[in-house]
Amino acid sequence: MSATDILKELPKLNPAELETVCRRVMELHRGLKLEATPELLAAIDEADESFSREGGVGVNEARRIVASWNTK
């Protein structure tokens, strides 16, 4: 069943059924993990290199700085 099919069926549900569906969707959504694609990783690397060339702070340096803020 496609998302389009599911969306078409939602108006047919009573309020309790809609609440159940909504709750389950949120449970599933919370369990999702972002997996970076090779394209996303390449874009991050390119942005990091560009930023560093232009006098900014690289990702590793930014991580070091943020870690130093930890007061534990």
pLDDT digits (tens, 9 = 90+) for 12-46: 999 899 999 999 988 888 887 777 888 888 888 88
pLDDT 10s digits, 39-65: 888 888 888 787 777 777 777 888 888
Structural domains of the chain, count: 2
Assign 10 a pLDDT band (cuts: 50, 70, 90). very high
**Same-domain status, 44 and 29:** no
Q: Look at residue 71 and tell me whether its pLDDT is greater than 70.
A: no
**Same-domain status, 28 and 1:** yes
Contact 13, 21 (CB under 8 A): yes
With H, G, I as helix, E, B as strand and everything else as coil, classify residue 55. Answer: coil
Range of the domain at 9: 1-33
**Same-domain status, 29 and 53:** no
Contact 46, 38 (CB under 8 A): no
Q: 0.75 cut: is pTM over it?
A: no
